[in-house]
A and B are shown apart, each in its own frame.
Chain A
């Protein structure tokens, strides 16, 4: 049998390029159906839901968090986790804001802020790969330390940044042909990383390491380097999200982003990322955060007390993971 003929016999290259491809695609299709169904139902339930204003607000709200979700998904695939992303988002805001107030131009200030966020990631990566702690504990400590740093830098009071030049504020507030820049940045990052994760050699090593670290080592992959750089990537993207928030709000609040990490992790997991590593897609994770965002928006429009919101989100997470578990067990 000739080679080309055999190739026809095998399944077409799967979307993730790796494993459980059809299953992953099925989950993504399922999420899309749920989101659409929810949107249709809501457009009947509330006259305000299907307005451009509301859709735009929803998109804006999950666009910036979506950038953080991208980093978190890659980190989850390598088998890590980062509880410090909420703190790092805030850290980037606070560093950028205070640099600007010290007289730096906002662009340089933001680069420094993103660099500082990357340094936080490098610090965590050091403790994980060189000292040998696990991601959970390391990032738990970093979450508290970095939050503390934010409070120290701002002395606990929000920084007012109304003097930011309009061309900088435009990133968070402006739009291009009616589409907010925030959404453009978000889409570019998502498309880029989704592609890289599926196709790039460097990211393939992330899957190997997360799937079976020992086997990856025995395949000559420098797993500690892989884990280190993915940790840095996650913090860097959180830093980028932080400076966009700064531009959008024109302020830097030292308590911003408390609890954000849970939302981010929940989104990635709903989208199919495995907490034990080796599986996950960017597209799925983004659908995960979109679902959470639509739910939040719906609850607000339906006048459900904010006290109920977290509970409902938690139940969605539980349901998603249970369905996943059930499907996986059925498969094997």
Chain B
């Protein structure tokens, strides 16, 4: 690794009012390296990256690019200096085509008064094909979230960058797409571009990066060569304490009686002939590639999407579920994968969020009983360890992990028999993640049936007692016993046929 530092960050601090988000942090990026930046949510990673990308101004400190001090006052200035950022949250124009989005910066800089669409599409397709063959004439809004993420990445690739920042780029990607992205990132490195890679996923960091820097609570902790540390080391530095076990203990002994029995469920389009049984005390994982139909099955079971065929039994009793209200009454609740859009009410209070699922319970004479509402919200939020100001504060004031806990508190408020959790820890830091895992295991032990959908294989295997793999809307097989990632991937991708038991 030669050529010295392309980007030097020295003693950068950032205050938001009284809150200190960054305290004199340092960060050195060498030319042509892939440098991982780790830390729990709130550690200050995103704040620092926003400063580097010109979105926020630092309170104090110095940034040097190629040895020269620079002032990065706006995103446009950052681009001019050759600093690109792939946002964690998708920031695309949903009504414009893929091509228009990818080349937005180029179009903005263009002098000609009229658009040249054929050239635009040709150029965009060339960039897009390096990641995935998504037709660039399609509207971005019509794409799946994972494809939108790829477009976001393609957009950054068009900029002529010296430094490229990836902020959790794989959160919504499948395994194959992730691998494609890694190839691209390595290609960029070959071309001398320096990369900052933010992620929570240790496996990715250790597969891709050269060095890793850890932040904790807005402070710099350490920088190491990847070859010289282990994932355990890094996690320990992130949380500042020993996490002896990443996942809670699995179920000891046999699971109990059947809690939820789904038989030959079909929706006539996205999935068909799905049958499975969830037993008391166990956590059942639903695996498969993005788009395999896992979420659709969950929505079908909960009455959030119509089904054409099949039956559902809870505790051996058949239940008719026409809409979600029926499901809630039968004790089946669904935690959405998309927290911001369908999980929480950001501008409403924490208490009001927790009550949303079953207002009838809190209603006396047609009025919401406030005392009951507050008691319920406080009890559940305390139990889940939600870090918050007041119970009347809007949910938007909480961090991602705490927002997710509020969403879970909402599910628990109805004392459910079965909770289907779709990507329960997406975009949540390591600490909160393991708290949620622990909580799931406790709930299961209390007799609540838990179904977990996760695209993160280590999590799926770590938390579940048993995994059903979905492929093309059908059950491809079941993985039990000593579960391996390989077994799940084989079933999910259809390699190696249908074997029902993988030891």
Contacts and interface: CB of A to CB of B under 8 A. Distances in A.
A332 B393 CA distance: 13
A216 B348 CA distance: 12
Nearest to A202: B366
A207 B362 CA distance: 16
Contacts of A204: 352, 355, 359, 368
Given A11-B392, A13-B374, A205-B359, A18 B348 contact: yes
A17 B359 CA distance: 14
Given A14-B392, A201-B366, A217 B349 contact: no
A14 B334 CA distance: 29
A172 interface: no
Contact of A215 (B341, B360, B366, B378): B341
B2 interface: no
Contacts of B348: 18-19, 207-208, 211, 278
B363 interface: yes
Given A215-B342, A218-B334, A7 B347 contact: no
A221 B324 CA distance: 8
A10 B324 CA distance: 33
Interface in A4-34: 6-7, 10-11, 13-14, 17-21
Interface in B325-370: 325, 327-328, 334, 336, 341-349, 352, 355-360, 362-363, 366-368, 370
Contact of A7 (B324, B346, B374): B374
B392 A21 contact: yes
A155 interface: no
Nearest to B355: A204
B46 to A, nearest CB: 15
Interface in A189-247: 199-202, 204-205, 207-208, 211-212, 214-222
B308 to A, nearest CB: 20
A332 B346 CA distance: 13
Contacts of A200: 366-368
Contact of A19 (B343, B349, B362, B410): B349
Given A204-B359, A208-B348, A214 B367 contact: no
A218 B304 contact: yes
A201 B349 CA distance: 15
B190 interface: no
Contacts of B129: none
Contacts of B324: 217-220
A13 B350 CA distance: 12
Which secondary structure dominates where chain B touches chain A? mixed
A200 B346 CA distance: 21
B378 A17 contact: no
B457 interface: no
Interface in A246-279: 278-279
Contacts of A214: 341-342
A332 B379 CA distance: 28
B391 interface: yes
Contacts of B346: 211-212
Given A11-B392, A18-B349, A214-B342, A219 B357 contact: yes
Contacts of B375: 3, 7
B73 interface: no
A215 B325 contact: no
A319 B346 CA distance: 26
A280 to B, nearest CB: 12
Most buried by B among A3, A10, A201, A218: A218
Contacts of A199: 367-368, 370
A189 B274 CA distance: 53
A222 B362 CA distance: 18
Contacts of A221: 356
A16 to B, nearest CB: 9
B77 to A, nearest CB: 22
A6 B327 CA distance: 33
B370 A17 contact: yes
B374 A215 contact: no
A208 B342 CA distance: 11
A201 B392 contact: no
B368 A211 contact: no
Contact of B345 (A13, A202, A212, A222): A212
Contacts of B255: none
Contact of A222 (B325, B356, B370, B392): B325
A17 B344 CA distance: 17
Contacts of A13: 370, 374, 392
Contacts of A222: 323, 325
A226 to B, nearest CB: 12
A279 B347 contact: yes
Contacts of B393: 11
A24 to B, nearest CB: 12
B394 interface: yes
A218 B343 contact: yes
Nearest to B393: A11
Nearest to A211: B345
A208 B304 contact: no
B390 interface: yes
A278 B344 CA distance: 13
Contacts of A20: 347, 394
A215 B343 contact: yes
B378 A6 contact: yes
B378 A10 contact: yes
B144 interface: no
B368 A219 contact: no
B477 to A, nearest CB: 30
Most buried by A among B336, B349, B357: B349
A10 B391 contact: yes
Interface in A173-196: none
A18 B348 CA distance: 6
B359 A215 contact: no
Contacts of A215: 336, 341-345, 356
Rank and list the top 10 A-B pairs by shortest CB-CB distance, nearest first. A214-B342, A11-B390, A219-B356, A211-B345, A201-B363, A220-B325, A220-B324, A199-B367, A10-B390, A10-B391
Given A10-B392, A219-B410, A220-B327, 7 more contacts: A13-B374, A18-B348, A19-B347, A19-B394, A214-B342, A219-B356, A222-B323
Interface of A: 3, 6-7, 10-11, 13-14, 17-21, 199-202, 204-205, 207-208, 211-212, 214-222, 278-279, 332
Interface of B: 304, 323-325, 327-328, 334, 336, 341-349, 352, 355-360, 362-363, 366-368, 370, 374-375, 378-379, 382, 390-394, 396, 410
10 contacts: A3-B375, A10-B374, A13-B392, A17-B352, A205-B359, A214-B341, A215-B356, A219-B324, A219-B357, A332-B396
